[in-house]
Chains A and B, each alone.
Chain A
Amino acid sequence: MKEIIVLAEHRRGELRDVTWEMLSKGRQFADSIGAEIGVALLGNGVNALAEALKPKAHRVFLIQDQRFEAYNSETYEKALTPLITERKPLLTLIAHTSMGMDLAPSLAARLKMPLATDCIGIDVAGETFSLIRQLYGGKVNAAVSFLKKGPYMVTVRSGAFPVLEKEVLTGELVKFPSPLTDEGMAKRFIQYLEAAAGDVDITQADILVSVGRGIKEANNIPMVKEFADVIGGTLSCSRPVVDKKWLPKDRQVGTSGKTVKPKVYVAIGISGAFQHIAGMKGAGTVIAINKDPKAPIFGVATYGIVADLFKIVPVLKDKIKELRKS
Chain B
Amino acid sequence: MNTVVCVKRVPETADADVSIGKSGKDIDKSGLAFDLNEWDSYAIEEAILLKEKLGGTVTVLTVGGEDSNESLRKCLAMGADDAMRLMDPAFDGSDGFVTAKILAEAIRRIPYDLILTGTQAEDDGYGQVGIVVAELLGIPHAAVVNRLEIQDKKARVHRELEGGWEEVYDIDLPAVLTIQTGINEPRYVSIMGIRKVAKKEIKTLGASDLNLKPEEVGLSGSDIQLEKIFLPPAGEGAEILEGKPEEIASKVFGILKDKGGLP
Contacts and interface: CB of A to CB of B under 8 A. Distances in A.
In this complex, the interface size class of chain A, counting residues with CB under 8 Å from chain B, is 35 or more
A311 B126 CA distance: 37
A232 interface: yes
Interface string A25-49: 0000000000000000000000000
A315 B247 CA distance: 10
A55 interface: no
A319 B259 contact: no
Contacts of B238: 286, 288, 298-299, 301-304
Given A98-B162, A102-B143, A316-B249, A143 B226 contact: yes
Contact of A98 (B160, B172, B182, B239): B160
Interface stretch (A69-77, A84-92, A174-182): A69-77
A14 to B, nearest CB: 11
A106 B135 contact: yes
Contacts of B18: 136, 139-140, 294
Nearest to A131: B224
A87 to B, nearest CB: 20
Contacts of B160: 98, 256
In this complex, the interface size class of chain B, counting residues with CB under 8 Å from chain A, is 35 or more
Interface string B199-221: 00000000000000000000100
Contacts of B11: 136
A114 B227 contact: no
A213 interface: yes
A144 interface: yes
B261 A137 contact: no
B105 to A, nearest CB: 14
B246 A264 contact: no
Contacts, number: 295
A257 B223 contact: no
A263 B255 CA distance: 11
Q: Is the interface of B mostly helix, strand, loop or mixed?
A: mixed
A264 B255 contact: yes
Contacts of B236: 299
A267 B65 CA distance: 38
B131 A106 contact: yes
A73 B177 CA distance: 13
Contact of A117 (B128, B181, B229): B128
A284 interface: yes
A299 B237 contact: yes
A117 B134 CA distance: 17
A287 B252 contact: yes
B229 A106 contact: no
Interface stretch (B48-56, B74-82, B163-171): B163-171
B250 A213 contact: no
Nearest to B93: A147
Contacts of B144: 98, 101-102
A147 B241 CA distance: 47
Contacts of B136: 109
A138 to B, nearest CB: 7
Given A142-B228, A319-B250, A284 B259 contact: yes
Interface in A287-307: 287-288, 292, 294, 296, 298-307
Given A146-B225, A187-B141, A189-B168, 7 more contacts: A70-B167, A73-B141, A98-B144, A109-B136, A257-B163, A264-B259, A316-B252
